[in-house]
Amino acid sequence: MFSLFIENFRISITSVLANKMRSLLTALGVVIGILAVTLMGTLISGLDHSFEKSMEFLGKDVLYIRKYEWFGDKEWWEMRNRPNIKIKHANSILERSQYAKYVAPVSEWYTSVKRDANEISGVRVTGTTGAYAMISTAEIEKGRFFSSSENRSGSRVAIIGKDIADNLFENENAIGERIRIGNYTFRVIGEIEKQGKFLGMFSLDKQVIIPIGTHQRLFTRRGWTGINVRVDENNIDNATEEITALMRQFRHVRPTEDDNFALNRQDPFKQQYSMIKLAIGGTGFFITVLSLVVGGIGIANIMFVTVKERTREIGTRKALGATPKMILMQFLMESITICLFGGLLGLGLAWGGSFIINQYFPSEMPIDLALTALGLSMFVGIISGLAPSYKAAKLDPIDALRYE
Amino acid sequence: MSLISLKNIYKIYNVGGEEVRALDGVNVNIQENEYLAIMGPSGSGKSTLMNMIGCLDTPTSGLYEFEGEMVNEMDDNQLASIRNRKIGFVFQTFNLLPKATAQHNVEIPLIYGNVRRDQRKNLATEALESVGLGDRMHHKPNELSGGQRQRVAIARALVNKPSIILADEPTGNLDSKSGQEIMEIFDSLYQTGNTIILVTHEDDVAKHAHRTIRLLDGKVKEDISVAA
């Protein structure tokens, strides 16, 4: 049976190559279908990758006490009237909470960072304490984090992100050098490893970290303050409840009143993200199914034409001893070959497309999806080839031989 | 025992409510190593009889025995198998696959007969050499003359070492010189022990055979044997 398989494959290839333009046009639906499904897969894989990295930055065991909710249906103006988060509550939480492992107050302000004539604007200036290093997943690549005495004394020392290091120091060693943050001179004591972009929106590496006391004196009047709490990963819900209660207590919120602060976590990001993913996946799926169905009909149509054109060949083959099943397999194989050819073409285009996507955020074409796509195009080939092949198999050899 | 035995064969078609008797009670026995011509005007039923003998068609009624096997009781797969193993067809229009080489064309019956690749190659080469086309094995039909194409077709008919070679107007599409060459091949095939059945309306072709069956209106009108 194997030689028959080879023979059928040979016939299919010959037939596809003999009608290049026709095969290409016929396979177009499958090409588009496979292109859609693989590009969608590549896009989702890229999004997944980028999302995972961004979520890593947030950490799954970190609670962010903020004035504003990251997600939710609260009105912006309602939250604006809430009191600001106070640094002193960081210590209170650490003292009173049984789930909090590390607590770091965080203040942020955006300003420019200069060294000599080089300037980077819009740099995130984070003021925090030594605990920040224990909460953040980013490692110090060179140098060190600031000590508690530096923190207490309000030293002008800074840990710089990768973007700052690359742009202001290029190949030089930044440690010990001086930079100007806003209008103030700081000494660089550390460098953070590359973190990439947050959800593809803004660079996490375009930041400097300074002691919170220093930040308070120089920048905080205009920025905002929050508290990051790293809790026991297995008790994150209990921790949320407990810390909410503590915050309410600190801020004297009456039992009838709503919280006047937000306890943010990475979870809502995930919910939001899976909705986006579902939308992309749904669209891709719809396009794929539509083009495969239309493409399949086109292939069935052209296969009927092929069977008609080759009626005499079918008659000859039957006279030479081909059984109906052998003829069926021959035309089924031809239909599958057209679809596989379309599938491979679609995959090739998607592969090229994935490079373009890769320019915007790191992604790769998932291998299992590529294989599934090929399987899918085979499936389309079988389904659309079935009726024409059956017709060929059932032809009466005498009529077929006599066919002009 | 006869190689082929047709007993009381009827083939009746229904054309627009009218009964057409393409074969109307035919009795024919064919022995091994006969050289037979079936003749008759168009509509006489000679094509139907040829299709019947070639196992392309089954009778409406009657018994058809081929080497002791009852052909009239066979299904499509069994008919395909008997065509593959026992019958070599030669068509008026050659019916070669245009995109395949001479060798590949000759291999087709072997592929359907599930013969191994290396063996297939040897058998095809042998068959092509026996019709004098040993040097044209890798040519495609459009690179061959009409006579050469028909020789490829004969090689294809021979390759499975069939019990009969069934040729339908084998010289009908050829000039007289090529036709003559083809008939010489049939003559020599007969001499080496093959059974040959020609279907033709040309007396020149039929005179090569040693037995002639003339059909008229679906009946055997005469069955004449000439001593070899």
Partner-chain contact A321 B120, CB within 8 Å: no
The residues, any chain, with a CB within 8 Å of residue A267's CB and separated by 6 or more, are: none
Q: Which class for A218: exposed (0-12), middle (13-18), buried (19 or more C-beta within 10 A)? A: buried
Nearest-CA distance from A361 to chain B in Å? 49
Q: Residue A183 has which token pair?
A: 């209008």
Answer for the pair A337, A401: CB distance below 8 angstroms, yes or no. Answer: no
Alpha-carbon gap, residue A114 to A121, rounded angstroms: 8
Tell me how far CA of residue A179 lies from CA of A49, A160, A190, A211, B73, in angstroms.
34, 10, 13, 15, 100
**Closest chain B residue to A3 measured between Cα atoms?**
B111
- Domain positions in chain B: 34-61+75-225
- Interface with A, mutate which of B55, B111, B152, B154 (most A CBs under 10 A): B111
User: What residues in A contact B105, CB-CB < 8 Å?
Assistant: none
**Secondary structure E strands in A137-273:** 140-143, 157-160, 178-181, 184-192, 197-198, 202-203, 207-211, 224-231, 262-264
Helix (H, G, I), strand (E, B) or coil at A277: helix
The bridge status of strand A262-264 relative to strand A118-128 is unpaired
Does the beta carbon of A324 lie under 8 angstroms from any beta carbon of chain B? yes
Alpha-carbon gap, residue A349 to A343, rounded angstroms: 10
Partner-chain contact A7 B117, CB within 8 Å: no
The bridge status of strand B219-225 relative to strand B211-216 is antiparallel
User: What DSSP line would sit under chain B, residue for residue?
Assistant: --SEEEEEEEEEEEETTEEEEEEEEEEEEE-TT-EEEEE--TTSSHHHHHHHHTTSS--SEEEEEETTEEGGG--HHHHHHHHHHHEEEE-TT----TTS-HHHHHHHHHHHTT--HHHHHHHHHHHHHHTT-TT-TT--GGGS-HHHHHHHHHHHHHTT--SEEEEESTTTTS-HHHHHHHHHHHHHHHHTT-EEEEE-S-HHHHTTSSEEEEEETTEEEEEEE---
The lowest-confidence range among A161-175, A195-209, B27-41, B95-109 is A195-209
Alpha-carbon gap, residue A248 to B25, rounded angstroms: 109
Does the beta carbon of A313 lie under 8 angstroms from any beta carbon of chain B? yes
**Which pLDDT tens digit goes with each residue over A52-65?**
888 888 888 899 99
Answer for the pair A53, A196: CB distance below 8 angstroms, yes or no. Answer: yes
**Which pLDDT tens digit goes with each residue over A377-400?**
999 999 999 999 999 999 999 999
Phi and psi angles of residue A100, each rounded to the nearest 5 degrees, phi first: -70, 125
Q: What's the whole-number mean pLDDT along residues B136-140? A: 95
Answer for the pair B210, B156: CB distance below 8 angstroms, yes or no. Answer: no
* Rounded CA Rg of chain A: 32
Residue with tokens 């509509």: B43
Positive or negative: CA dihedral B90, B91, B97, B102? positive
**Residue B85's pLDDT is what?**
94
**Residue A220's pLDDT is what?**
65
User: What residues in A contact B81, CB-CB < 8 Å?
Assistant: 321, 323
Alpha-carbon gap, residue A67 to A107, rounded angstroms: 12
Q: Comparing C-alpha atoms, which of A272, A268, A271, A246 is closest to residue A259?
A: A246
Residue A258 DSSP label: P
Does the beta carbon of A326 lie under 8 angstroms from any beta carbon of chain B? yes
**Which pLDDT tens digit goes with each residue over A23-55?**
899 999 999 999 988 888 888 888 888 888 888
User: What residues in B contact A401, CB-CB < 8 Å?
Assistant: 56, 91, 95
**Residue B22's pLDDT is what?**
92
**Closest chain A residue to B109 measured between Cα atoms?**
A320
**Secondary structure E strands in A157-292:** 157-160, 178-181, 184-192, 197-198, 202-203, 207-211, 224-231, 262-264
Confidence band of B135 (pLDDT split at 50, 70, 90): very high
- Domain positions in chain A: 2-53+271-402, 61-265
Nearest-CA distance from A381 to chain B in Å? 24
**Closest chain B residue to A398 measured between Cα atoms?**
B56
**Which pLDDT tens digit goes with each residue over A145-163?**
988 888 888 889 999 999 9
**Residue B227's pLDDT is what?**
65
Between B77, B109, B114, which is nearest A320 by CB? B109
User: What residues in A contact B76, CB-CB < 8 Å?
Assistant: 323-324
pLDDT of residue A215 exceeding 60 = yes
Helix (H, G, I), strand (E, B) or coil at A65: strand
Helix (H, G, I), strand (E, B) or coil at A27: helix
Does the beta carbon of A81 lie under 8 angstroms from any beta carbon of chain B? no
pLDDT of residue A200 exceeding 80 = no
Partner-chain contact B80 A18, CB within 8 Å: no
pLDDT of residue B228 exceeding 60 = no
**Residue A127's pLDDT is what?**
92
**Residue A44's pLDDT is what?**
86
**Which pLDDT tens digit goes with each residue over B149-192?**
999 999 999 999 999 999 999 999 999 999 999 999 999 999 99
Q: What's the whole-number mean pLDDT along residues A206-218? A: 90
The residues, any chain, with a CB within 8 Å of residue A290's CB and separated by 6 or more, are: A33
**Cα A116 to chain center, whole Å?**
38
**Which pLDDT tens digit goes with each residue over A288-338?**
999 999 999 999 999 999 999 999 999 999 999 999 999 999 999 999 999
Partner-chain contact A321 B80, CB within 8 Å: yes
- Interface with A, mutate which of B95, B114, B158 (most A CBs under 10 A): B95
Between A1, A320, A397, which is nearest B108 by CB? A320
Fold of B34-61+75-225: Rossmann fold (3.40.50)
**Residue A1's pLDDT is what?**
66
Supply the mean pLDDT for chain B. 93
**Residue A332's pLDDT is what?**
95
Residue with tokens 């395949």: B100
Between A312, A315, A321, which is nearest B113 by CB? A321
Confidence band of A70 (pLDDT split at 50, 70, 90): confident
Supply the mean pLDDT for chain A. 89
Report how many Cβ contacts below 8 Å link chain A to chain B: 69
